[in-house]
Amino acid sequence: MMDVREWALKWIEGSFRSYVKGRTHLNMVLGRVKRAVESYGVKENEVFGILELIKGPLVLPSMPVEEKARKVAELKSALEGMFKQRK
């Protein structure tokens, strides 16, 4: 059975995929990440680890490489800003 923290990690991964595909707004994704970190014990390095996974060629392989790279870079920048504000 999946515990809450594992569920939160999957929630973040799904949110990242949805953002990169253009289906979810950036502010919503950042809110989900913030909630996962504050309420479910997800760590900053885990968030960026998931982002690296999304960046890889096996995730969303049918998406144009340049578009995917641009969306991932936008998301990474926003996450870095969010985590910087928290410190």
pLDDT by residue, tens only, the chain of 87 residues: 679 999 999 999 999 999 999 999 999 999 999 999 999 999 999 999 999 999 998 999 999 999 999 999 999 999 999 999 987
Q: Write down the pTM of the prediction.
A: 0.94
Q: Is 72 left (phi over 0), alpha (psi -120 to 50) or beta?
A: alpha
- Determine the distance from the C-alpha atom of residue 16 to the mean position of all C-alpha atoms in its chain, rounded to a whole number: 4
